[in-house]
Amino acid sequence: MQRNTRQRAAILDVLSRQDDFRSAQQIHEQARTDGQGVGLATVYRTLQALAGAGEVDVLVTDDGESIFRQCADAAHHHHLVCRECGRTVEFQAPEMEEWTRQMAARHGFTDVHHTMEIFGLCPDHTAPAADA
């Protein structure tokens, strides 16, 4: 049901060599650069499938763009992401998990999931001094 196409391999290849969160368009361009051209629609479709299968993590940026990453940790975790270059640090927050679960339960919410991501500028992209 899930075929082994050249395109799929190309996308997985880009993902496996990418340590940062990247948009579909960036991944598309990268595959293209690697000489493994893939249609943009295919990139979207494949990423969607991978995300659905839990093989890649998806984050929605403040401006509504989805960015993807093949994470090292298969378990549930969160991210510290550079909003400039996508550089990422994975981390877990077990206390938090429990905490949010209780919060949801206390208010009778079901089928919950939470987002908890930290966006900032990594050491290499610290904001230029805004000297007047």
Rounded to a whole number of angstroms, the distance between the first and last alpha carbons of the chain is 60
Of 30, 114, 122, the closest CA to residue 69 belongs to: 30
Instruction: Select the binding partner of residue 82 from DNA, a copy of itself, none (C-beta < 5 to 8 A, by kind).
Output: a copy of itself
Report, in Å, the least distance between residue 118 CB and a copy of itself: 4
CB 79 within 8 A of CB 117: yes
CB 61 within 8 A of CB 83: yes
Q: Dihedral, CA atoms, 58, 121, 86, 40, nearest 10 degrees?
A: 90
Q: How far is the CB of 24 from DNA (least distance, A)?
A: 4
Length of the chain: 132
**List of residues contacting DNA (CB under 7 A):** 1-8, 23-25, 37-42, 44-46, 48, 64-66
Q: Which does 95 bind (CB under 5 to 8 A by kind): DNA, a copy of itself, none?
A: a copy of itself
User: Encoding tokens for residue 99?
Assistant: 């905490």
Binder among 107, 128, 131, 132 for a copy of itself (CB under 8 A): 107
25 touches a copy of itself by CB under 8 A: no
Residues of the shown chain interacting with a copy of itself in the complex, contacts defined by CB under 8 A = 60-66, 80, 82, 89, 91, 93, 95-96, 99-100, 103-104, 107-123, 126-127
